[in-house]
């Protein structure tokens, strides 16, 4: 199957705009790009770009496609099937926002990934960690003081709780067996879990090194949920590939991340959302969570700016799932707010994210690349806010198939 996109202006990360281009797609991949007329087969589908601007599909390096706020009460009350059906609207909302690939940092299992690949529902392509490793009493240990365990459990979705080198080794192997593309570890306290602080590190260095060594045997990267400064430095020592959030990062730790090729995924958007919208009135821990958010908001911007100025590799992540899905590209404004140019922000959410995930076929519109392409009428380099409104994304092509047009998200085939 061929698709010909006519008369578009190509905006590629780190490149000059190429005006009045035609793009020939064959199957999932881009076969030819030219300003001249391109020959096609008789039955080729033709899309009139009408002088729109096109960019590579965006990549969100930190989100949770099944999650809807991570409320333990919903885990307890809802039939398990609801957990999976949440992916249907969340996937559509994310595609609608112009995001064609996501790195799921805890929620989606191998089955959800395969369902997307088979076209059973419309969603971004998924890179999955399945479930994070968490120490007893740590962030996302969902055993309540009442003694009830609110962690979702089913075959193919291992529990994340583990302690000591032998348990973390076994747990890492369980996630590899379950089909994880990377290993996620909770290395500091967090906002959503009670009775722990984002400033405190979690897991000791021996445990962290054990996880990394086992992951490396099959070339898997290891990612750290980590706000804590002490925790970040332990993760650097252990050989982690990325720090998610990085709230308390400082000048010295930033430089260590550069030296050790550790990527930062800051997720600033979710902090602002939770600060502005708070938590449901029935959440008995709302006051404690809001106090943590207020602490993080005070220092996050300047600390992440320090990391950027020191040359830390920063890729875009949103933590969607903690907040509503479909707002992903609003994070670009936060990246610009720490000093990035509009093009740098776009790079962080396309080519840099693709490279970080070890994928050389996405993040750029070029011959031989996956045909993941979004359309927007006006030039977002002149007004980056245009990208933050899903209604401005007029079309989305994913793996060569149009999954959104100006009338809304299209259903899967």
Residue-wise pLDDT tens digits, 151-202: 898 999 999 999 999 999 999 999 999 999 999 999 999 887 777 888 999 9
Looking at residue 408, what is its pLDDT? 52
DSSP β-bridge partners for residue 127: 103
Assess contact for 374 and 100: CB atoms under 8 A: yes
Cα–Cα distance for residue pair 112/54, rounded to 1 Å: 29
The helix, strand and coil proportions of the chain, stated in percent and rounded to the nearest 5, come to: 35, 25, 45
Residue-wise pLDDT tens digits, 265-314: 999 999 999 888 888 877 777 888 888 888 888 899 999 999 999 999 99
- What's the angle, vertex CA 16, arms to CA 312 and CA 305, rounded to 5? 20
What does the pLDDT average to over 79-102?
Answer: 96
Confidence grade of residue 413 (pLDDT, cut at 50, 70, 90): very low
For the ranges 63-77, 258-272, 388-402, the lowest mean pLDDT is seen at 63-77
> What DSSP element (H or E) covers 276?
helix 269-277
Looking at residue 330, what is its pLDDT? 98
Looking at residue 155, what is its pLDDT? 94
Residue 206: exposure state from Cβ atoms within 10 A (0-12, 13-18, ≥19): exposed
360 three-class SS: coil
What does the pLDDT average to over 104-129?
Answer: 97
Cα–Cα distance for residue pair 66/45, rounded to 1 Å: 33
Per-residue b or e along 219-249, where b marks 16 or more CB atoms closer than 10 Å to that residue's CB: ebbbbbbbbbbbbbbbbbebbbbbbbbbbbb
Assess contact for 38 and 24: CB atoms under 8 A: yes
Q: How long a stretch of residues is the chain? A: 413
Structure tokens at 153: 């459990």
Looking at residue 410, what is its pLDDT? 55
Residue-wise pLDDT tens digits, 349-358: 999 999 999 9
Residue of 183 and 69 predicted with greater confidence: 183
Looking at residue 151, what is its pLDDT? 87
Residue-wise pLDDT tens digits, 18-54: 999 999 999 999 999 999 999 999 899 999 999 999 9
What does the pLDDT average to over 109-115?
Answer: 98
HSE-up (13 A, CA, CB side) for residue 125: 21
Looking at residue 407, what is its pLDDT? 57
* Secondary structure E strands in 240-321: 242-245, 263-265
Looking at residue 362, what is its pLDDT? 98
Looking at residue 79, what is its pLDDT? 93
> Other C-beta atoms within 10 Å of 133: how many?
31
- What's the angle, vertex CA 391, arms to CA 386 and CA 394, rounded to 5? 90
pLDDT at residue 412 is higher than 60: no
Structure tokens at 357: 């995930």
Mean pLDDT, rounded, of the chain: 94
* Secondary structure E strands in 134-289: 183-186, 222-226, 242-245, 263-265
pLDDT at residue 78 is higher than 80: yes
Q: How far is CA 202 from CA 160, 163, 207, 213, 256, in A?
A: 14, 11, 10, 18, 20
Looking at residue 328, what is its pLDDT? 98
* pTM of full prediction above 0.85: yes
DSSP β-bridge partners for residue 116: none
């Amino acid at each position: 199957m061929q698709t010909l996109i006519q008369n578009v202006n190509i905006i590629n990360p780190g490149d000059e705009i190429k005006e009045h281009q035609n793009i020939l797609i064959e199957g999932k991949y881009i076969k030819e790009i030219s300003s001249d007329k391109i020959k096609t087969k008789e039955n080729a589908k033709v899309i009139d770009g009408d002088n729109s601007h096109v960019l590579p599909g965006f990549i969100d390096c930190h989100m949770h496609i099944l999650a809807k706020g991570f409320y333990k009460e919903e885990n307890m009350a809802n039939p398990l099937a609801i957990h999976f059906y949440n992916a249907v609207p969340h996937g559509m909302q994310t595609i609608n926002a112009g995001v064609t690939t996501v790195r799921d940092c805890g929620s989606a299992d191998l089955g959800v990934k395969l369902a997307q690949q088979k076209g059973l529902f419309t969603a971004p392509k998924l890179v999955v960690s399945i479930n994070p490793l968490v120490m007893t009493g740590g962030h996302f240990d969902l055993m309540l003081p009442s003694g009830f365990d609110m962690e979702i459990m089913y075959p193919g979705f291992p529990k994340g709780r583990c302690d000591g080198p032998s348990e973390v080794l076994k747990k890492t192997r369980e996630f590899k067996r379950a089909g994880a593309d990377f290993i996620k570890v909770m290395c500091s306290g967090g906002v959503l879990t009670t009775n722990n602080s984002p400033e405190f590190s979690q897991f000791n260095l021996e445990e962290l090194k054990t996880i990394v060594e086992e992951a490396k045997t099959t070339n898997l990267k290891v990612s750290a949920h980590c706000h804590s400064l002490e925790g970040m430095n332990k993760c650097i020592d252990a050989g982690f590939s990325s720090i998610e959030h990085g709230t308390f990062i400082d000048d010295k730790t930033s430089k260590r991340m550069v030296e050790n090729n550790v990527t930062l995924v800051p997720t600033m958007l979710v902090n602002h959302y939770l600060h502005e919208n708070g938590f449901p009135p029935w959440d008995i821990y709302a006051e404690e969570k809001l106090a943590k958010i207020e602490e993080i908001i005070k220092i996050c911007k300047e600390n992440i700016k320090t990391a950027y100025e020191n040359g830390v590799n920063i890729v875009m992540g949103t933590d969607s799932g903690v907040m509503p899905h479909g707002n992903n590209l609003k994070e670009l404004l936060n990246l610009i707010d720490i000093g990035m140019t509009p093009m740098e922000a776009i790079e962080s959410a396309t080519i840099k994210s693709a490279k970080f995930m070890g994928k050389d076929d996405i993040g750029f519109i070029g011959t031989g690349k996956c045909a993941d392409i979004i359309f927007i009428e006006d030039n977002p380099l002149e007004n980056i806010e245009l990208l933050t409104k899903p209604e401005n994304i007029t079309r989305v092509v994913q793996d060569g198939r149009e999954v959104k047009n100006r009338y809304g998200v299209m259903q899967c085939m």
